[in-house]
Structure 1
Amino acid sequence: MSAYLIRRLLYAVPLLLGVNILTFLLFFVVNTPDDMARMQLGQKRVGPEAILDWKHERGYDLPLLWNEGAEGTAQVTETIFYQKSVGLFLFRFGRSDQGRDIGADIRTRMWPSLAIATPSLVLGVTVNVSLALLVVLFRLTYLEFWGMALCVALMSVSSLFYIIGGQYLFGKLLQLVPISGYDGGRDAWRFLILPLTISVISGIGSGVRWYRTLFLDEVEKDYVRTARAKGLGELRVLFTHVLRNALIPILTGIVVLLPLLFTGSLLNESFFAIPGLGSYTIDAIQQQDFAIVRSMVYLGSTLYILGLLLTDISYTLVDPRVRLH
């Protein structure tokens, strides 16, 4: 197991290096510092002096990869790549183009994101799996037909409809919960209950259809027929044998959602004014703060790779046939 973990961690190094280099190329080669300055200054005709001042204040006036005017190690360290990208490997995010400490912002905003994303993930998977098992239990009946029709209808509705409709109905008309905002104290649940509910409901359509497909593939296998032949009830067969054998593809699907535990939901945090990392990223894009966007792209990639590693490890816990070598 330890050798496998070390090998997978070593595999992650070139992946993160590739993400870092690609992000650097997109932000500093395709979109040059001069272009950044013009977009940030917001003027069609910006003077050369204003562009130089903007780049100098943010360290964008250095050479990209190699500083021929410097000596020794400064030829490498006194470059944009070293000062803006190398630190990301150690999670040193530096300062934003607006002068804020990105690392401090992430540490502050990660908690609201976790407060909404963690229960959304747990409840969403639990509800979707349970409903999918019930649909499979009543397969080839009218309940399955209308259940799938309802799932298609839910999938056809935009997430924005759930958000705006929920805010209008429960926040404005019924005045049960606040429409927006966040409080980290005892009243935090009042601000989280509506976005949490909307997040779960909006994912039911696609989630139930996905898990139903997995379970239908399992119910026709030989081990299920053997369990039925032994006299086991259909509920026990589904919730014990079928569910356990379908856990590997379920875990594979969950890994895609793991980065959201940290980076948050972009739409929910923006529309509900929750000061998490999702709204932090949206604000950075709107303000054209490229340092924050680069940091969030790298952070999301790191979390995704970590999720893949955790998923591989979890395979051995749910299926003894899987061995890590």
Structure 2
Amino acid sequence: MTAYIIRRLLYAVPILIGVNLITFLLFFVVSSPDDMARMQLGVKRVTPEAIATWKRERGYDRPLLFDQEATGPGKVTDTIFFAKSVRLFAFDFGSSDSGRDIGFDIAQRMWPSLAIAVPVLLVGLAVNISLALFIVFFRATYLDYASVVLLVAMMSISGLFYIIGGQYLLSKLFHLVPISGYDTGLAAWKFLVLPVIIGVIGGIGTGTRWYRTLFLEEIGKDYVRTARAKGLSERLVLFRHVLRNALIPILTGVVVVLPLLFMGSLITESFFGIPGLGSYTIDAINNQDFAIVRAMVFLGSVLYILGLLLTDISYTLVDPRVRLG
């Protein structure tokens, strides 16, 4: 197992290098440091002196990839690529174009993102699996057909509809929870209730329909017919056999999502004023702070690869065939 994990981690290195290089080219070749300076200074007529000062203060006055005038390792290290991209592998995110410590901001903002994402994941998983098992129990009936139609309709509705509708009903009409905002400590719960409810409801259509499909594939297999022949009730067949054998595709969806929970939800956090990593990324895009965007793209790549590794490891815990192999 240790050798397998090390091998998978080594596979991730060239992927991260490729993502880092492509991100760098997108930001610095398509948009040069001079263009970034003009956008940040926000004026139509910017003097060359102002552009030079802005680049010097933020380390953009160096060569992009190779410094011909330097000697030794400085030809590579004294470049924008090394200062802004290579250091990301050590999780040294540096400073934003506005001067803030990106690493400090990430450490502070990941907790509000987790406060929303973790309850949405756990509650949504329980609700979706329970509803899917209930629908499969009444499969091939009018209840099953009506449920599929309702789930497809819920999948077709934009997430913005759930957000705006929830804010109008629970906040503006009934005044049950604040419409937006955030607070620290235990007082934050009242600001998290509405985003969590909307996140769970918005995922019912896709999640329940997917789990229903998984359970229907399992319920037609030979081991299910054998369990019924032994006299087991349909409820025991569903929960003891079908659910257990469907854990691998369920884990595939759940474990991959786990690391991405840190990244937050761009739309939800922006609409509800939650100071998480999602709104942090949106604000950086709106302010054209490319240092933050690059850091978040790299962090998202690392977390996604970590999720794939956790998925492979989790297979060995639920499927003896993988473990024995």
Q: Same fold (TM over 0.5)?
A: yes
Contact 1:112 1:276 in 2 (8 A): yes
Of 20-29 and 290-299, more deviation after overlay is shown by: 20-29
Aligned mates of 1:149, 1:131 — CA distance in 2? 14
Contact 1:195 1:268 in 2 (8 A): yes
What is aligned with 1:35? Answer: 35
Cα RMSD after superposing both structures: 1.3
**Amino acid in structure 2 at the alignment position of 1:104:** F
Post-superposition CA distance 1:87-138 (Å, at most 9, x none): 1001000000000000000000011111111111111111111111111110
Identify the residue that residue 136 of structure 1 maps to in structure 2: 136
Mapping for residues 219-258 of structure 1, pairs under 5 Å = 219-258=219-258
Distance 1:234 1:275 in 2: 47
- Structure 1 stretches lacking a partner, 5+ long: none
* Equivalent position of 1:10 in the other structure: 10
Look up the equivalent residue of 1:166 and give its one-letter code.
G
Which residue is 2:50 aligned to? 50
Amino acid in structure 2 at the alignment position of 1:220: G
Partner Cα distance (1:153, 1:323) in 2: 40
Q: Given that residues 255 and 304 in structure 1 are in contact (C-alpha distance below 8 angstroms), is that contact kept between their aligned partners in structure 2?
A: no
Residue 295 of structure 1 corresponds to which residue in structure 2?
A: 295
Amino acid at match of 2:309: L
The answer to whether 1:124 aligns with 2:121 is no
Shifted more, 77-86 versus 67-76: the winner is: 67-76
Q: Is the 8 A contact 1:247 1:318 kept in 2?
A: yes
**In structure 2, what is the Cα distance between the partners aligned to 1:256 and 1:26?**
26
Instruction: Give the letter for the 1:295 counterpart.
Output: A
Q: How big is the shift at 1:73?
A: 1.7
Counterpart of 1:89 in structure 2 is: 89
User: Contact between 2:256 and 2:310, CA under 8 Å: does it hold in 1?
Assistant: no
Q: Distance in 2 between matches of 1:12 and 1:295?
A: 18
Match of 2:129, as an amino acid?
Answer: V
Q: Does 1:212 align with 2:208?
A: no
Aligned pairs, how many? Answer: 325
The answer for the alignment partner of 1:147 in structure 2 is: 147
- Cα deviation, 1:35-57, whole Å, max 9, x if unaligned, reads 22222223344333332222122
- Shift in CA distance, 324/289, structure 1 to aligned 2, threshold 3 Å: farther
> Is residue 160 from structure 1 mapped to residue 160 from structure 2 by the alignment?
yes
**In structure 1, distance between residues paired with 2:130 and 2:274:** 29
For residues 324 and 159 of structure 1, do their structure 2 counterparts lie closer, same or farther at Cα, with a shift above 3 Å needed? farther
Helix, strand or coil at the partner of 2:257: coil
Matching residue's letter, 1:285: I
- Alpha-carbon shift at residue 248 of structure 1 (Å): 1.0
Q: Secondary structure at the match of 1:115?
A: helix
Q: Which residue of 2 aligns with 1:309?
A: 309
Q: Secondary structure at the match of 2:38?
A: helix
The Cα shift of 1:58 comes to 1.0
Question: Within 1, Cα distance between the matches of 2:42 and 2:208?
Answer: 46
**Partners of 1:212 and 1:79 in 2: how far apart?**
53
Matched letter for residue 51 of structure 1: I
Percent of aligned pairs with the same amino acid: 73
Tell me how far apart the structure 2 counterparts of residues 324 and 184 of structure 1 sit (CA, whole Å).
Answer: 48
**Unmatched runs of 5 consecutive residues or more in structure 2:** none
Q: Secondary structure at the match of 1:278?
A: helix
Taking the aligned partners of 2:234 and 2:85, their CA distance within structure 1 comes to: 56
AA paired with 1:112? Answer: P
- Which digits, 9 at most, give the CA deviation of each residue in 1:11-51, with x for residues without a partner? 11111111111111111112221222222223344333332
Q: Are 1:273 and 2:273 matched, yes or no?
A: yes
Q: Is the 8 A contact 1:117 1:260 kept in 2?
A: no
Distance 2:260 2:173 in 1: 31
Amino acid at match of 1:138: F
| 2:185 alignment partner in structure 1 | 185
What is the deviation of 1:324?
Answer: 7.5
Q: 1:255 to 1:46 in 2, by over 3 A?
A: farther
Residue 297 of structure 1 aligns to a residue whose secondary structure is helix
Is the Cα contact below 8 Å between 2:98 and 2:289 reproduced in 1?
yes
Query: How does the TM-score come out when normalised to structure 2?
Result: 0.97
CA separation in 2, counterparts of 1:249 and 1:13?
26
